[in-house]
Structure 1
């Protein structure tokens, strides 16, 4: 058996920093970009919703592929390529189906990137170090969102929306380069699936694990309700402000994203210190489900893909079909 290389954490931090456009994409900017080109809000909502529904449908199967894959880095490379393609497509053509295709590509990237990076993190840090490393990952991720949004706002203000989409493609390319700098043998494949070192190689129970653990279902429902009410706020707010002529599109959208991500950077850093102690006080039964670590029994072995895919499938943005 090949020995594991010492973990190189800075490429992982860099991936989290530059993967911002893979996870949330250029979505907040797409709406105002299309609106300024004469699209009705109903048509914008239709195109974005088709893309997000496609992403929601592939989240569970793609999570399964990533969980069983022995090349987790590949599943960061593929979303990076999807982001580059999404940016290129929307720059080449603003026809309905071209924009819809770009949003499908973006949604595929978003569906794959989170379980892929989570698996890499778990494979490097193992269960004992996952919470701390994942918390730092989230801080870098939100910082990347802040920097990306600020740059997008500035470049969009100076050079137009083309610069925003070019920046998204550049971020995707850098993320690909960074993930390839992580040594493949520094990632423990069995640990990356949430398995313990002494756990036998039993096949996963499958989707039935979700029906056996009510806390997972409650968590998934809570996340779904939260995102249905929250995810479309920034795009809708941007559309409303630009439609009224109250703000410059790129700079206004960038400001809303920077404020939101700044709050989440601070929250991620606080969670690194506060969460383990809070989880211990919550008691052993609750800890198995409440702590955001795939080492809980429900997320071990083959269960990781279902736990992560169900959680992140709620992160879709649906815009109302109302024409202005």
Structure 2
């Protein structure tokens, strides 16, 4: 029970820390006199570092048996990056903080996934990932409110002091996860073995065609999804219909929906399989894009963001879950998560560039329709080429999760 509570807290506070590196950076640098070009370069450097670090970060976590060590290192690096942003907003400090944040995130995500597998085992992994996604969403929502209040009541600089401070409860939560609870001799997932005991080589995971199918679907998913909200908010802003309350609501609504749905989606994925749940989550993206095209306005946008919560709940759950399914024999869970994270990052990075170019030339409605087509292509790829990855076992052999 103590380790599970620690894992809840680790997900909550890690998400809260990550929120501090979001839109607040753009506001702080703009108020500090940075040009749009310099601001864009700073954000791009962080994104590029995160892309480069996905595979090495996953491999690093795979090679360290005690997963709390890389998790603690990543949290400390995140805190150091936040403190850098509190200092004078020079190019050197800001660029360094962005690189540190990007690389640390590449270690933190697989480390949490590995700790989760160690605590609950593969057969209960789906349900536990649903809980992880819930606390991640709650941490994002709570942090958005806390950091917004700090910015309004104190200063924009205070946002990053609070962000660094949130690393402390995250580390305390990590300490609550006891290694004694992470020993599960009954589970046969190779990722739980010591790295020296694995029989396969890391690159062997890429021989599985299912990994490539899912990675391609992830790229298409992010190409369709990542630009939807920015394009919609841009259109509202040009028409004078995007006040701060609407922007906040479009962020908070999907977080609430994600927190509500994620545990249920995790349970359902274990009962009926990954593929049906995955397709429902992916299908929410083209549906949302179509509705954005035909039902414009601030209120519809806010309501339709509930569909973003559906897709976020499923995506956050399925990426590590399918990675675990596909690496049951090889054990290189975190390298697979890094590879899928790289696919996700590439899709999201290209999405805003492509959608922005299309929007400038053909208008928002056409952009939404094209993004809906890309999202539908992702669903079609899953339907045609993605097999079911859930392992079927006799009910008597499936261990019940500890409560």
TM-score bracket, normalised by the shorter chain, equals 0.7 to 0.9
Which of structures 1 and 2 has the larger relative contact order (alpha carbons within 8 angstroms, sep 6+)?
1
> How many aligned positions are there?
309
Per the alignment, residue 262 of structure 1 pairs with 256
Per the alignment, residue 341 of structure 2 pairs with 312
Q: Name which of 84, 88, 110 aligns with 1:89.
A: 84
Matched, 1:274 2:303: no
Q: 1:86 to 1:245 in 2, by over 3 A?
A: farther
Per the alignment, residue 30 of structure 2 pairs with 35
CA drift of 1:157 comes to: 1.8
Matched, 1:292 2:321: yes
Q: 1:85 to 1:206 in 2, by over 3 A?
A: same
CA drift of 1:173 comes to: 1.8
Q: 1:290 to 1:10 in 2, by over 3 A?
A: closer
Q: Larger helix proportion, structure 1 or 2?
A: 2
Q: Name which of 182, 201, 204 aligns with 1:205.
A: 201
Q: C-alpha offsets along residues 179-205 of structure 1, whole Å, 9 cap, x if unaligned?
A: 012112222388999328899944323
Per the alignment, residue 102 of structure 1 pairs with 97
State the alpha-carbon separation in 1 of the partners of residues 241 and 323 from structure 2: 45
Once the two structures are overlaid, the 10-residue window that deviates more, 148-157 or 194-203, is 194-203
State the alpha-carbon separation in 1 of the partners of residues 120 and 263 from structure 2: 18
Per the alignment, residue 124 of structure 1 pairs with 119
CA drift of 1:143 comes to: 0.7
State the alpha-carbon separation in 1 of the partners of residues 228 and 29 from structure 2: 17
Q: Name which of 67, 70, 74 aligns with 2:65.
A: 70
CA drift of 1:234 comes to: 6.3
Q: C-alpha offsets along residues 208-253 of structure 1, whole Å, 9 cap, x if unaligned?
A: 422x32221121122234335544666788899999998887x776
CA drift of 1:63 comes to: 0.9
Tell me, yes or no, if the aligned pair for 2:205 and 2:336 is still in contact at 8 Å. Answer: no
CA drift of 1:275 comes to: 1.7
Q: TM-score, normalised by structure 1?
A: 0.81
Q: TM-score, normalised by structure 2?
A: 0.66
Q: 1:193 to 1:59 in 2, by over 3 A?
A: farther
Q: 1:220 to 1:17 in 2, by over 3 A?
A: same
CA drift of 1:104 comes to: 0.8
Aligned with 1:93: secondary structure?
Answer: coil
State the alpha-carbon separation in 2 of the partners of residues 104 and 240 from structure 1: 31
Once the two structures are overlaid, the 10-residue window that deviates more, 87-96 or 259-268, is 259-268
Equivalent runs, 1:130-149 vs 2, <5 Å: 130-149=125-144
CA drift of 1:26 comes to: 1.6
Q: C-alpha offsets along residues 74-111 of structure 1, whole Å, 9 cap, x if unaligned?
A: 12211211121111111102122321111111112211
Equivalent runs, 1:125-274 vs 2, <5 Å: 125-188=120-183, 194-195=189-190, 201-210=197-206, 212-231=207-226, 254-274=248-268
Structure with max Cα Rg: 2
Structure 1: runs of 5+ lacking an equivalent: 1-5, 283-288
